[in-house]
Amino acid sequence: MSLVVFLYFAAVAALSIFGLHRFHLLGLYWRVRTRRPQIVAMDEAHLPTVTVQLPIYNERYVATRLVIAIARLNYPRERLRIQVLDDSTDLTRQRLAVLTRRLRALGIPIDHLHRERRHGFKAGALAAGLACDDSELVAIFDADFVPPPGFLRQIVPDFMDPEIGMVQARWSHLNREDSLLTRLQSIFLDGHFFIEHVARHGSGRFFNFNGTAGVWRRSCIEDAGGWSGDTLTEDLDLSYRAQLRGWRFSYRPELTAAAELPIDMNAFKRQQHRWAKGSVQTALKLLPRIMRSPLPWRIKLEALFHLANNLNYLFIAIPCLLWVPTLSRRYDTDEPWMLAMAGAMAATTLCVVGYHMTCQRAAGQSWSGTLRILPALLSLGIGLSLNNGRAVVEALVGHPSAFERTPKYGVTRRAATVKSMAYALRHDWLSWLELSMAAYFGFGLWFAIDSGRFIAIPFLLLFLAGFLYVGLSSLGRQIDQLLTVGSACACLGLLGFVAWISHAFLLARI
């Protein structure tokens, strides 16, 4: 076995381990999915004081919607305080100042806190707000969220247990059906909220606050060391530090807060870059402490897989680069290493398919609809590998970067106008590299057909489609407008058509 094949096999084996971990999470999910904590209704006179923090930075299209939704929260005014933590440098600042004055005149307990210097980014804003407040509980919502009026009344009773330090609600999606991109994003997030959180919470593993749509006990934040801006995922960092201190977290999947998904590929890639880099930064910061702790090994291993999960993108990069060289070699399909590789790839694929099918059924989606879009989902994950792989490398080498927000535009706006609106992001050199990878896999597809390696064709199509979609969508929003969920359905037909053409080509050569 050559070095090329060995590296390819090693990468596939590593991916298989992470794939089997998803299978493990599925097993935990099926075991604990019906468990629900017993929530006791709280007497009106004993409701704790709550501060709702709204960290905002240049969000002119959605900030007003958020503030109005928070002002409608059904919670006693004498026990509620709203902090608009505004670091904006554009028109958002003036608009929020006017809005908060009007709401305050109507009796809403709201303050507009503006910082001249964005020190510590979101974590710094949250810490600054906490420093001028003494409420028992702290709720946090990002600018693109719209919580229901009864959110606080439903979530606050969890804190009757004095060991509960944080309660997380599930995200729902305001614009799930806006485009193929938003539909795929919703499936990725559904897996996190319907499977991972349920499995980890129900089995006693550590899970994390998601940066928004959750409520903290103030004493928990302080006991864990407070907010820190030394990683790009301040929420994940504080979550693990708090649980290492012995605090327990609660998850309420039946309680949702709706949010807007990014409608532009460049915005989505920026968000994914920040999450991937921040999680690896948190892993480097906290994994040594976790492994030295007296925690049970089942919790330590789950923390390892959770925090190191984005290393997957480095392992994906190796098969991406070695696909064509591996195809060019002559080998016998009954060799042990070939059988092992085929088994590993099959196991990984089945785990991923089973994971997403289960989460979509839990989300109320149909089997047939999920199956139709699954090829596009797998392709998008592959197409993001360069973007997220770069984030992982930056974290591993200690390359610093600012906390870059994900621009949102309000779901009532036409997606076609994004490029002419404020906050629109331009593509960078990585988009051209993604298109180069698409061309590389186009050559690999031709080679597989020419050499009769028909078993590789479906995989090559997924890689080709993934890099082509991500690269072209990064260059222009119009590309994503041309693609609908129906185009994902066509992927299956395309696979069959190419396989038929390949078979005819082989017969012609014989």
Q: Write out pLDDT tens, residues 215-239.
A: 999 999 999 999 999 999 999 999 9
What is the CATH architecture assignment of 29-35+48-262?
Answer: Alpha-Beta Complex (3.90)
- Residue 152: which of 135, 137, 170 has the closest Cα? 137
Q: Determine the straight-line distance between the first and last CA of the chain, rounded to whole angstroms.
A: 29
pLDDT at 11: 83
pLDDT at 422: 76
Contacts of 466 (CB under 8 A, 6+ apart): 378, 379, 380, 381, 382, 383, 384
Give every strand in the sheet of 110-114, ordered side by side. Answer: 110-114, 80-86, 50-56, 137-140, 214-217, 164-173, 248-259, 145-146
pLDDT less than 70: residues of the chain: 1, 37-40, 327-346, 411-421, 477-510
DSSP string computed for 193-222: IIIIHHHHHHTT------SSSEEEEHHHHH
Q: What share of the chain is helix, strand, coil (3-state, %, to 5)?
A: 60, 10, 30
Its pTM stands at 0.89
In Å, how far from its chain's centre is CA 117?
Answer: 28
pLDDT at 336: 63
pLDDT at 135: 95
- Residue 237: which of 127, 135, 163, 136 has the closest Cα? 127
H-run or E-run covering 363: none
- Residue 353: which of 381, 321, 391 has the closest Cα? 381
pLDDT at 415: 47
* The one-letter amino acid at 5: V
pLDDT at 451: 76
3-class DSSP string for 83-124: EEEECCCCHHHHHHHHHHHHHHHCCCCEEEEECCCCCCHHHH
- Residue 303: which of 392, 234, 240 has the closest Cα? 240
d(CA 201, CA 144): 26
Query: Which value, to the nearest 10 degrees, does the dihedral of the CA atoms of residues 269, 275, 278, 279 take?
Result: -130
Contacts of 48 (CB under 8 A, 6+ apart): 79, 135, 136, 137, 156, 159
pLDDT at 360: 92
pLDDT at 426: 79
User: Strand, coil or helix: what is 228?
Assistant: coil
- Would the CA dihedral through 139, 140, 143, 146 be positive or negative? negative
Helix axes 234-244, 121-131, angle to 10 degrees: 60
Annotated active-site residue in 86, 158, 190, 235: 235
* The one-letter amino acid at 73: L
d(CA 378, CA 287): 29
pLDDT at 344: 65
Structural domain boundaries in the chain: 29-35+48-262, 310-509
Distances (CA, A) of 437 to 121, 180, 196, 450, 475: 35, 22, 31, 20, 15
pLDDT at 251: 97
Q: Could you confirm whether 158 is annotated as catalytic?
A: no
Q: Could you confirm whether 223 is annotated as catalytic?
A: no
Q: Centre a 10 Å sphere on the Cβ of residue 154 and count the other Cβ atoms it contains.
A: 16
Are 154 and 250 in contact, with CB atoms under 8 Å apart? no
Annotated active-site residue in 87, 158, 178, 480: 87
pLDDT at 144: 95
Q: What angle do CA 237, 282, 306 make, to 5 degrees?
A: 95
User: Strand, coil or helix: what is 371?
Assistant: helix
Instruction: Give the number of C-alpha atoms closer than 13 A to the C-alpha of residue 48, restricted to the C-beta side.
Output: 24
Q: What angle do CA 294, 138, 122 make, to 5 degrees?
A: 85
